[in-house]
């Protein structure tokens, strides 16, 4: 009995020793920065002088901060453009590639290609394609005799261009998740539906879609979290990050501006906390849906 107790005691200590590096790493690089960020959000800190405690001032100031309100509006618009169309079009692509047809694997691989390069590389490529006198102008404007379209220099077109480039790279990724969901649907149910005379639409609606509810929640959750954290496209694509006239300024970019261009670390931390709260809220809502699914 005593021996067993001692064995357990040793076993636990060894376990702790083994997990300690991972826990230490997590605490140092995840937990501590988050807590420090929370602390900074209650301070005025310019990096060069010690932080000054200002309580909730930074959060209160955000309510009347034009830049924050612009970035919030732009972020919500970007989230809308980067989730709903992605959700629908990636599902549509998955249903297409779930069918057997000649050359499917090659076309599917080609369709998946935009996922492979990092988003910064995608942005650099699209910056060239979206040059006012570039390929996209020739492809789209050429039909109407247009030789210049200010894709990235027009305050209306620039945010739409961001959404289009994002969706181009995101749809193939989420298509793969939908395909995994479709692969999990028992074949006999589809066969039974076919025997009962159900067409593709009815089969999708009554057989496939109910099976895909968990996948649907996952795609919605991942795409919206991803969109809330938007940064790279808005930083690399426009001539001036967030421009023109702040039309592509999103919260992630505002954190960078406040923190490392304006050296207002307290405001940057406060914006980060708001972003964190928004993403947390969306995640909780979607997890609830997931449980029901």
Dihedral Cα 48, 51, 52, 56, nearest 10 deg: 130
Binding to another protein, residues 252-291 (CB under 8 A): 257, 260-264
Stretches 6-14, 45-53, 159-167, 285-293: which one binds another protein (CB under 8 A)? 45-53
**C-beta of 43: minimal distance to another protein in Å?**
11
Burial of 96 from C-beta contacts in 10 A (0-12 / 13-18 / 19+): middle
134 near another protein (CB under 8 A): no
Residue selected from 20, 23, 35, 47 as contacting another protein according to rule CB under 8 A: 47
Residue selected from 60, 125, 133, 202 as contacting another protein according to rule CB under 8 A: 133
124 near another protein (CB under 8 A): no
Nearer to another protein, 172 or 242 (CB): 242
Nearer to another protein, 85 or 243 (CB): 243
Stretches 7-15, 100-108, 118-126, 239-247: which one binds another protein (CB under 8 A)? 239-247
Tokens 């964190």 correspond to: 276
Stretches 11-19, 48-56, 187-195, 279-287: which one binds another protein (CB under 8 A)? 48-56
Size of the site for another protein (CB under 8 A): 31
Decide: 212 and 98 in contact? Cβ < 8 Å: no
229 near another protein (CB under 8 A): no
**C-beta of 246: minimal distance to another protein in Å?**
6
Q: How far, in Å, are 92, 135, 151, 232 from residue 239 at the CA level?
A: 34, 18, 11, 13
b (16+ CB within 10 A) / e for 229-261: ebbbbbbbbbeebbbbebbbbbbbbbbbbbbee
Nearer to another protein, 46 or 191 (CB): 46
46 near another protein (CB under 8 A): yes
142 near another protein (CB under 8 A): no
Residue selected from 152, 182, 221, 273 as contacting another protein according to rule CB under 8 A: 152
Query: x-or-dash pattern for another protein, window 67-106, by CB under 8 A?
Result: ----------------------------------------
The residues binding another protein (CB under 8 A) are: 44, 46-49, 52, 66, 131-133, 145-148, 150, 152-155, 239-240, 243-246, 257, 260-264
């Amino acid at each position: 009995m005593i021996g067993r107790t001692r064995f357990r005691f040793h076993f636990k200590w060894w376990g702790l020793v083994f997990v300690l590096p991972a826990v230490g790493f997590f605490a140092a690089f995840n937990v501590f920065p988050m807590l420090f960020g929370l602390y900074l959000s209650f301070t005025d800190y310019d990096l060069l002088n010690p932080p000054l405690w200002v309580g909730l001032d930074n959060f209160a100031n955000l309510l009347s901060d034009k830049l924050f309100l612009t970035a919030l509006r732009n972020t919500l618009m970007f989230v809308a453009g980067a989730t709903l169309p992605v959700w629908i079009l990636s599902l549509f692509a998955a249903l297409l590639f779930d069918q057997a047809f000649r050359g499917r694997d090659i076309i599917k691989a080609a369709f998946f290609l935009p996922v492979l390069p990092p988003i910064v590389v995608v942005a650099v490529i699209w910056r060239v394609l979206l040059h006012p006198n570039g390929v996209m102008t020739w492809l789209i404007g050429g039909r109407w005799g247009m030789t210049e379209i200010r894709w990235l220099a027009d305050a209306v077109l620039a945010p739409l261009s961001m959404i289009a480039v994002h969706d181009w790279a995101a749809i193939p990724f989420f298509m793969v998740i939908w395909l995994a969901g479709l692969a999990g649907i028992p074949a006999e149910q589809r066969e039974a539906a076919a025997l009962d005379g159900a067409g593709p639409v009815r089969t999708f609606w009554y057989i496939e879609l109910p099976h895909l509810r968990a996948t649907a929640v996952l795609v919605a959750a991942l795409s919206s979290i991803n969109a809330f954290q938007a940064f790279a496209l808005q930083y690399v694509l426009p001539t001036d990050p967030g421009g023109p006239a702040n039309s592509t300024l999103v919260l992630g970019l505002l954190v960078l501006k406040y923190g490392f261009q304006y050296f207002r670390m307290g405001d940057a931390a406060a914006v980060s906390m708001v972003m964190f709260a928004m993403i947390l809220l969306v995640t909780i809502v979607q997890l609830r849906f997931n449980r029901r699914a």
